[in-house]
Amino acid sequence: MIPFVNFTARVEGHPSDALSRRYEIRGFPTLMILDASGKKVATPDGRDIASFSATIASLEALDSLRARKDAGEVGLEASILLARLQLGSIDFKQAAKQRKALVKPKKFESSQWEADLVEIDALLFNLKLADMFQNAGRDPDKQAELGEKLYVMAKNGRFASGPMTYQYWSQVMLVAKKKKDVKVYEAGYNALHAMFKDNPRAKKVLAEMKAELDAMR
Amino acid sequence: MKLNSITLGLVAALTLSTTIFAQADDQENQDKYDKKITEAWIRSGSWELDHDSALARAESEGKYVLAYFSRSYSP
């Protein structure tokens, strides 16, 4: 990796500021991995060594998949799309389009394809959720509308995973509490408890949620 | 007519003072930037400060670029 640092200077006409705008930097610090043409190819999930290592491993896996495809191997499209989703190098619109176009090659004997599709669909759902949250922004009416939509998704068994879990369930549980829906509220509490039970900073919030759940029963 | 002259004068004075303050801010921020890029971790870690140079190195060495975006105008 070539390490590159850009400091937004907030000086009229400064090239660093223009570069930050070009990459649509919204907060500091922001880390991303670029290829030699300057295109973003990955966004590490966290800022720790484990996250970086995982991102680099995923990049190497993607490079290897592409090399195999170029060498003529078939049936890798799902794996490649999955790798790009895991790296954060593809947006929802592009990914949904590519997902729709995925066709398993005839006589392709591999359970990897089906396994990849399950993971792709989960990640696509997360991307869709991220889009929905971004569109709702801070508008209270749009957030309320979003909450109702997410509540319906939760009732139909469609759940967020990974990084979208907390945002998703926070909204769903707000609506579930208003509707006195113990089942959905409990599903949210269980999901968040599983994710954050070992995080000392989450102890108070989880305890409050548990108290709320007990009061609803 | 007199009122218009006074108003125009006030507007001109405000514009001039705003420009002066903006230039002062720019200078202060430029000084902060100049100081930031000399920090020891940048030299010791061989961090590129020029985007095009980083991409050229990535191309010639067959590597990716780890891009770290931060700010110098405030902590």
The mean-pLDDT minimum among A17-26, A65-74, A106-115, B63-72 falls in A106-115
Rg (CA), chain B: 22
Q: What is the pLDDT of residue A11?
A: 95
Distance from CA of B15 to the nearest CA of A (A): 17
Q: Which residues in chain B have their CB less than 8 angstroms from residue A47's CB?
A: none
Q: How far apart are CA B26 and CA B69, in angstroms?
A: 20
Q: Would you kindly state where each structural domain of chain A is located, as residue ranges?
A: 46-136, 139-217
For the segment B10-69, what is each residue's pLDDT rounded down to a tens digit? 777 777 777 776 777 899 999 999 999 999 999 888 999 999 999 999 999 999 999 999
CA atoms within 13 Å, Cβ hemisphere of A34: 24
Q: What is the pLDDT of residue A44?
A: 82
Instruction: Answer yes or no: is pLDDT of B9 > 80.
Output: no
**What predicted TM-score, i.e. pTM, was given to this entire model?**
0.65
3-state secondary structure of B71: strand
Pick from A4, A9, A41: CB nearest B68: A4
Q: What is the pLDDT of residue B3?
A: 62
Q: Comparing A57 with A36, which gets the higher pLDDT?
A: A36
For residue A173, count other CB atoms closer than 10 A to its CB.
26
Distance from CA of A92 to the nearest CA of B (A): 23
Q: How far apart are CA A23 and CA A81, in angstroms?
A: 23
Kindly identify which residue of chain A lies nearest to residue B50, measuring between CA atoms. A4
Q: How far apart are CA B18 and CA B34, in angstroms?
A: 24
ipTM score of the complex? 0.79
The mean-pLDDT minimum among A25-29, A80-84, A151-155 falls in A25-29
Contact B30 A16 (CB under 8 A): no
The pair of three-digit structure tokens given for residue A215, joined into one six-digit string: 């009061």
Using the Cβ of B55 and the Cβ atoms of chain A, whether some distance falls under 8 Å is answered with yes
Handedness of CA A177, A180, A181, A182 (dihedral sign): positive
pLDDT-derived band at A18, boundaries 50, 70, 90: very high
For the segment A86-108, what is each residue's pLDDT rounded down to a tens digit? 888 888 889 999 999 998 887 67
For the segment A122-144, what is each residue's pLDDT rounded down to a tens digit? 999 998 998 899 889 889 999 99
